Structure 1
């Protein structure tokens, strides 16, 4: 990469130090090499970086592998350039030192590979990105090279690179608007390292910020490859729920029910089946939820089952579940209103055969009055026995108590009430 340094006097002096005449390795005497090495090392060891740099750069160009045939001289050079940059107050001089470090980051792999030296290309590629990231305030224009370095390290060894650097890659894709690229990378990570908790957490984190439709497309592709993956099925189901894709939710329901779903999922499916009038499946799903160890059945759960049985005209079972809902939470209003509504539905279904059976409307009115529903009371009052009906029933007398019993499809509505005539 070509870099132009600002022509300040300090920078020019630096350049003179950093670009010695390159000699062929064969022409450099062992004694000369040892002298340059010794001079730079003593200063480096004592953190006299400015005094060390001249001889250190000579070694990098003339005997880079000396004396261990390793990357130690390059590592010391990067440390030296960083220290010199940190010591500069002038931004141009600081940038000059950092650029010099980048020159040697670019050289280290080809130079040491040719020497067959002992070094790790993965670490150098990753560290180049980390160096830029550490100095990003000065090297802002090198951001793309930072990402390229992390991506290069990933491609060298996808299982070795730390999740932190993977997140930098994903974040860059997302922030640049390349949502498809981010999802492709997440998909690749899931295939390669999805069994790692840290990678799984990374995938989940970015799913929160990626648009739901993109997430769904990603998960649907994963689901095709892993249709029995319980976690994947659950995630997809939850996204369908979030986006109100009702038909897709129901299409996935059998798979969800077969994969040890959570109580929350079973509650949701029970309600959906009730709303769709699929009462047998609603009941079966509720029973599956009941079988979960230590499950807490809520008022809403019992209420949903009551609605299912009412729709099936199994009025006795419906009442039992509505009562169970009220037992769990006496203030649960839907269950309170459900019982008198159920009675009214049952009477409408079975009919009233004679004037004595019409007394059931007194009981239903009492139920509405108990919960403060005056509209319900008024509706029932229009169906009370007439004055003539009361006259012809020997046991009835307006304003007096009467025993009433009415049975419809196995459910008996009975109790003591007050005789009243139709309004």
Structure 2
């Protein structure tokens, strides 16, 4: 039952007897309206809320539109101040029944504001204010979370972008938590869909976890998204959500199909890259190269360009197009000079060149020279990037065993430290390499 302070004449609030007797529409103790208002406002500004209430309660009883001698008086603004007065007194009251009474009185002021001003009210501002009030006084309001969520929904519907960004996404989260607790899946998902374009990063992370709460299985979420897409088949946001699930569930054919659809709708950097990665995972290297090159042209950051160029290099390497593999490994290194992987790719390309050149014949000393270049690049990789040391060392151990032996060097009259050209002079199939290396023992 509501405990309205204005309706309880015997309710003892303060020590002064003249304050207790106050229950009329007139200012207390025979004061003029402007005198009482001035004292109310000064105490309100100073956060002396008990004293402010002594001199301001009459405003709620009388609801004066004007005060003689003070043309700036605004009833709506002062009703809002009275809400703040009752709110603060309720929050600091030691007696729970008194706190409940203050809370109920503040709620009646909200009702009076809506009743009096109706369409002339800034509904967004007042809905947000009342939602906050419900949350901060939840101990004294039945089903406060649901009532707060309803007010927040009013504000969200009016200004979705502004509301979503407010409080770093707190109010949207509060609203969604209540809907999720009531198992209102469709309503919660509709809010997430509308709010997501405006959401700060932390709120987007919450949306992801909220979706998981709303569906018991990925299958349920897939079914929901497919249903939504029936009404809007080219909705990129829904398609991207479905793409994420297919990737998480390793649904390869479905992922490839949706990557293709997203690319057809919008061939941007992300969609070009997704299509390239799908083709690469399916060992379709020519298609992967095509879309990786598109993504490379659309990439804006150096780290993105480095990663894509290395993917192109690897695709060429898998296709045994070795000069092209080296070309794009060098492009990757140009975009990230502290990354060792491009140099490992170059080493792999040269090692593959030896395998290709000797596929139908015995390994000669000239072929073994190429492995010195391979070792040069592997050592360079680990010297600039410790994260690739293990991979580089494993390969060094393998290739060091097939470099020219001391005996072979003797018969070639090679001296330690001598520079050798690795090009067509060794064998025509090495003409494209065109590197130099050093004789070593």
TM-score class, shorter: 0.5 to 0.7
Report Cα offsets for 1:229-277 as digits up to 9, x if no partner.
4465556656766x47563543332234341423x66556545533431
Change beyond 3 A, Cα 1:135–1:156: closer
1:366 equivalent in alignment to 2:358? no
SS in 2 for 1:96: helix
Change beyond 3 A, Cα 1:80–1:303: closer
Distance in structure 2 (CA, Å) of the matches to 1:416 and 1:35: 99
SS in 2 for 1:101: helix
Q: How much has 1:362 moved relative to structure 2? A: 1.8
1:399 equivalent in alignment to 2:412? yes
Change beyond 3 A, Cα 1:368–1:154: closer
In structure 1, the residue matched to 2:197 is: 200
Q: Is the 8 A contact 2:131 2:147 kept in 1?
A: no
Q: Is the 8 A contact 1:267 1:289 kept in 2?
A: yes
Which ranges in structure 1 are unaligned for 5 or more consecutive residues? 21-32, 391-395
In structure 1, the residue matched to 2:324 is: 317
1:100 equivalent in alignment to 2:98? no
Change beyond 3 A, Cα 1:368–1:56: closer
CA RMSD of aligned residues (A): 5.4
Which of 273, 280, 291 is 1:285 aligned to? 291
TM-score (norm. length: structure 1): 0.62
Distance in structure 2 (CA, Å) of the matches to 1:322 and 1:160: 49
Distance in structure 2 (CA, Å) of the matches to 1:157 and 1:375: 64
Distance in structure 2 (CA, Å) of the matches to 1:256 and 1:145: 43
Distance in structure 1 (CA, Å) of the matches to 2:87 and 2:315: 75
- Aligned positions, number: 371
Q: How much has 1:340 moved relative to structure 2? A: 4.4
SS in 2 for 1:50: helix
SS in 1 for 2:157: coil
Q: How much has 1:10 moved relative to structure 2? A: 0.6
SS in 1 for 2:427: strand
Q: How much has 1:284 moved relative to structure 2? A: 0.8
Q: Is the 8 A contact 1:360 1:406 kept in 2?
A: no
Report Cα offsets for 1:133-161 as digits up to 9, x if no partner.
35966663327447526625745993268
Change beyond 3 A, Cα 1:283–1:179: farther
TM-score (norm. length: structure 2): 0.60
In structure 1, the residue matched to 2:258 is: 252
Distance in structure 2 (CA, Å) of the matches to 1:418 and 1:86: 82
In structure 1, the residue matched to 2:349 is: 342
- Point out the more displaced range, 282-291 or 200-209: 200-209
SS in 2 for 1:368: helix
Q: How much has 1:283 moved relative to structure 2? A: 1.0
Instruction: Mark the structure with the bigger radius of gyration.
Output: 1
Distance in structure 1 (CA, Å) of the matches to 2:435 and 2:170: 69
Distance in structure 2 (CA, Å) of the matches to 1:268 and 1:8: 73
Change beyond 3 A, Cα 1:359–1:221: farther
Change beyond 3 A, Cα 1:55–1:326: closer
Change beyond 3 A, Cα 1:376–1:400: farther
Report Cα offsets for 1:151-206 as digits up to 9, x if no partner.
25745993268615995364144278639548733524755xx6xxxx73248653
In structure 2, the residue matched to 1:130 is: 129
In structure 2, the residue matched to 1:25 is: none
